[in-house]
Amino acid sequence: MFREFRHFIKRGNVLDLAVAVIIGGAFGTIVTSVTEDLLMPLISAVTGSPDFSNLFIRLGAIPDGFAGKPDDYGALKAAGVPVLGYGAFLTAVVNFLLVAFAVFLIVRQASRLVVKPPGAPPAPPEDVALLREIRDLLKDGRR
């Protein structure tokens, strides 16, 4: 069983996957920092709210024993007040778009760097092949 496990681990795609997971985790922290520390403050400045993740619509009444601030999304949510947290949702969407765009750029650049081995040229379309055959037959008929 140990040999099978060792063979499984030695396969290239398993190691590639492990490297991808580790790099993906590190990349996630970079994207989170870009989103929270660079983009969200800019978007918050445009929307007029100092904290973008604190944008929400309260859908229910605040309970009588609530001791927090009525404009604190986290406190309201913890108290069980139904809230529509569109700011947190927009933050998640921006995070996703950043990750997707970064992956797109990486794949695009990697595909440019990959050297494609020269192979056989693709077969010509049927009509072109037929015309070439007719041409060759006509050439042979003249001699």
16-37 pLDDT tens trace: 788 888 988 888 888 778 777 8
pLDDT tens digit string along 115-124? 777 777 888 8
Whole-number Å distance between alpha carbons of 101 and 95: 10
Q: Where are the alpha helices (DSSP H) in the chain?
A: 2-10, 12-33, 40-47, 73-78, 86-113, 126-142
Q: Which domains does the chain have, with CATH numbers?
A: 2-142 (1.10.1200.120)
Question: Maximum CA pair distance of the chain?
Answer: 106
